[in-house]
Amino acid sequence: DVAWSTNDLVVAPDGRGYVDLYKQTGNALVGELGLVDPAGTVSVVATGLAVPNGLGFLPDGSTLIVSETNGSRLLAFSTGPDGSLGSPAVFADLGAGRHPNGLCIDAEGGVWVGCYDTGEFLRVIAGGTVTHRITVDHGWAVAPALGGADGRTLYLIVDDTTHEGLMRGESAGRVLQTRVDVPAAPT
C-alpha cells in the first residue's frame, strides 16, 4: 500500500508504469517513484526526491527522465530489466529560480519542460544546455506535449492562476501551440 499523492504517470516500453509519489512530512514535501507492475501492484523504486513531477523516457527507452520540482532539475534514471531504477544522475540543473513541472521528450532526446513559476517552456539537452525557450505572457507554464500528424506541434498547457488563487480554487487554463523542428520521440 502506498498512501501518497500522485501527479504523473508514464508507461515504459515494456508495459510497466512509473508514477510519482509525494507527501507532506513536517514542513517539507518528500517524494518517491513507484513502479506499477501489470497486476497493478505498486512498489517504491526511488526515494529521497524533492517532489518528482513530470516523467518521460528517452528515445531508446532505457532512461527515465523525471522533473524534480523542488530540486529545480531534471534527473535521469537507468532502468533495469525488472523495472528497477539505477541511482539518479542530473540530466539538467535548471537553476534555483525554476521549478520544473510536466515534460515531454523529442526524437533527439531533448526534453521540453514547463517551469511554472517563471512562465517558461524550455527545451534542454543532457548536461543542461537550454536550446529553446518559450515564455508565456502570463500564467504558469505547466506541461508541454508533442503531437500532430508529424509530431512537430508543441502543445503548451498554461494555468492562469497564482499560488494564492490556486489555494482558493481560482484557476483557469488554456492550451497554446507552436511548431518545432524536432518531432516527438517514437512510441
Residue 130 domain flag: yes
User: Cell match 515504459: residue?
Assistant: 12
**C-alpha cell belonging to residue 35:** 513502479
Residue 113 domain flag: yes
Quick check: 142 and 121 in contact, CB under 8 A? no
* pTM (two decimals): 0.93
**C-alpha cell belonging to residue 126:** 543532457
Residue 163 domain flag: yes
Residue 77 domain flag: yes
For the chain of 187 residues, list the mean pLDDT of each consecutive stretch of 10. 76 93 83 92 93 96 96 97 96 96 98 96 98 94 97 96 77 93 92
Residue 86 domain flag: yes
Instruction: Report the domain count for the chain.
Output: 1
Q: Find the domain containing 155 and state its range.
A: 53-179
The CATH number given to whatever domain includes residue 135 is 2.120.10.30
Q: 18-28: per-residue pLDDT in tens?
A: 999 988 888 88
